[in-house]
Structure 1
Amino acid sequence: MKTIKWNVDNNVGNLENNPQIVDAASFLKHDEVIAFPTETVYGLGANATSDAAISKVYEAKGRPSDNPLIVHIAEFSQLDQLVLDVPENARKLMENFWPGPLTIIFKARPNVLSQKVTAGLDTVGIRMPDHPLAISLIKCAGLPIAAPSANQSGKPSPTTARHVLEDLDGSIAGVLDGGETGIGVESTVVDCTEEVPVILRPGGVTKEAMEEIIGNLKLDPALHENVTSKPKAPGMKYTHYAPNAPVYLVDGTQAFIQQLINQKQNEGMTVGVIATEETEKLYNADFVLACGSRNDLLTVANKLYDTLRAFNSKNVDIIYSEIFPPSGVGFAIMNRLEKAAGHKWIYENK
């Protein structure tokens, strides 16, 4: 399959009438799969009501079939067609964070969405992206669009069209190139079918911001342990975001990390380090990549996946990563790093 690449300027005129978006939307209407930018990462979009279309998503990604997909909408009126009810907590969150990087779990309306989208669950995750190309594409297609991240399953999520093509060129119908995404990590997922909403995946909307609106939130236990049951949201069960080389999270000083580097180099291994702008010059490793500033964790979130992908071209044997405070956006960063590392930690003081 030849993968088409459409280049669209986000800031030009009425995007719904843009011939390239119209062309891309026509592929979605015919149950083909295309990648498109959102404010978080690039999504791999397909008609959420079609088993045939959703099967192509799983096939292109190599994604486990028990991993549900998030459905993207462009207008609030679409929601009633897809869910049974909208709890008050969900309504408050929508009013404050939609469009934006927040996915809300609802009870799904039966016999509307493909069962492959919900992975057989009676719930569905829905969000309204805050990106002009995404909104215009969904409106033009006139469909709810299921869209996991547009990468091979388990690999770092794509924040540019180039990343998409590295993984999926020849496996999907096309990619809508709208430049680099903004936030860089996926949406927060919060389950509003419970009396006290539960965060299933941290992301672009922080726990602290949501609690200002609706009060106390729970954290799903799966955020701190491996899931073996059927996951209720993406990113809960399987290793994700991983580069080719094994990643280890290091809870220790820069001097301790350097000791680890020296040990592996003495064994003849090529060592990479994920650092920050403040610390990258402190390490004597084969490759040290800064993923942003420790003083502004939004920059770390924005560059994290690009940094993880960059190590694949360095042919490193092992990667050590600094860690970050697990609050605010740091919670999402550490969640992604733990998934990338497969929960492998090295502690200086244990």
Structure 2
Amino acid sequence: MKLVAPTAQSVAEAAQLLRDGRLVAFPTETVYGLGGDATNERAVAAIFEAKGRPEFNPLISHVLGSNEAKRFVRWNDTADRLAARFWPGPLTLVLPRSEGSPISLLATSGLDTVAIRAPSHPIAQALIRAADRPIAAPSANRSGAISPTRAEHVAESLGERVPLILDGGPCLVGVESTVLDLTGPTPTLLRPGGATREAIEAVIGPIAVSDALPSGDSARKSPGQLESHYAPARPVRLGASTVGADEGLLAFGPTVPQGAMLTYNLSPSGDLAEAAANLFAQMRLLDRPGIGRIAVMPIPETGLGLAINDRLRRAAAGDGTGRRG
């Protein structure tokens, strides 16, 4: 772990680490973020692994501004008005994923929505510009710990789990960004934060408030809630040691039962980080016409396996139509 002052050289070094799929902690105006390339499934998996995050909750993707955001989400007039007032700044917008968006499915927890914002901190802006890609970044602390507002908080919480920390001093806002869902008929507050409800309503009029406002950075459509994750249209069978001819197999490890209609292996070597990176993409590949059911081999209940199994149990709890039972 290196804790360094933000210079042109150290920002360039941090940007190269991100392009190489490594992690970097950096300051924003809200809290310090643990950043990885939002388009790289393995880098996103490394974020969850470093945080010890118990679920694959959606992560916020950080961009320079609205022009860049439009490459990754389906923009609308409401987003335009909010970005003009609050970006760069502590407001995250949840918008539909654009067709062909390169944002990692793991970063969005398999959902067809993306949580996105433009941070105002000059170091964050410089890092995004130098990396030339969106940066997925939850708070830079172990899951369940207090959010870090100084570089030394990051070092204390994550230690060697993050190769480089850019020390930008204390964060000015000190609480996470406000998260506003723009995917429904009425904008809905999913998480209160640095942009106040009153200020938002002054721009776009009345907004709805989610039934269960969160206090941490667990998530549903965004950091802030929990429940609605990718539910396949095919039924899911867990703990499979054999497989039927009408089943698609989500395998794990070197020994794979034969006979499935279609097989994808989360990690032939049994690497849980690789399995996490492949989870949502491979589930979608198996969720296709002609396959009667998705069979899933056992995944160890250790490390990232806890999060993988959490998502698989949620998928198996659906009614096989993409809805929850």
The TM-score range, normalised by the shorter chain, is 0.5 to 0.7
Deviation of 1:233 (Å): 1.3
Partner of residue 231, structure 1:
220
Alpha-carbon offset, residue 195 of structure 1: 1.5
Mapped to 2, the partners of 1:77 and 1:124 lie a distance apart of 15
> Is the Cα–Cα contact under 8 Å of residues 65 and 119 in structure 1 kept in the other structure?
no
Is it true that 1:54 corresponds to 2:52 in the alignment?
no
What's the TM-score, normalizing by structure 1? Answer: 0.62
Aligned-partner Cα distance in 1 for 2:116–2:83: 10
- SS of the residue corresponding to residue 3 of structure 2 reads strand
Verify the 8 A CA contact 2:191 2:215 in the aligned structure 1. no
Specify which of 67, 70, 77 is matched with residue 88 of structure 1.
Answer: 77
Match of 1:34 among 17, 24, 41: 24
1:328-343 aligned within 5 A: none
Query: Equivalents in 2 of 1:104, 1:4: separation in Å?
Result: 32
- The answer for the alignment partner of 1:124 in structure 2 is 114
Taking the aligned partners of 2:143 and 2:30, their CA distance within structure 1 comes to: 17
Conserved in 2, the CA contact under 8 Å of 1:87 and 1:193?
no
Q: 1:92-149 deviations in whole A, cap 9, x for unaligned?
A: 1111000000000010124411111000111011000010000000000001000000
In structure 2, distance between residues paired with 1:133 and 1:225:
26
Shift of 1:60: 0.2
1:160–1:181 contact (8 Å) kept in structure 2:
yes
Q: Distance in 1 between matches of 2:9 and 2:214?
A: 46
Name 1:103's counterpart in structure 2. 92
Trace 1:272-287 onto structure 2 (pairs within 5 A): none
The code of the aligned residue for 1:236 comes to: Q
Q: Match of 2:108, as an amino acid?
A: T
Structure 1: segments with no counterpart, 5+ residues: 9-14, 239-350
Q: TM-score, normalised by structure 2?
A: 0.66
- The gaps in structure 2 that reach 5 residues or longer are 228-325
Matches within 5 A, 1:248-259: none
- Give yes or no for the alignment of 1:188 onto 2:181: no
Does the alignment pair 1:4 with 2:2? yes
Percent of aligned positions with the same letter in both sequences? 45
Residue of structure 1 aligned with 2:204, choices 192, 195, 214 = 214
- Pair 1:202 & 2:200 matched: no
Indicate conservation of the 8 Å contact 2:215/2:224, yes or no.
Answer: no
Partner amino acid, structure 1, of 2:2: I
Aligned length: 225
1:199-226 C-alpha deviation (Å, 9 max, x unpaired): 0000000000010110010000021799
CA RMSD of aligned residues (A): 1.9
Which has more helix, going by share of residues?
1
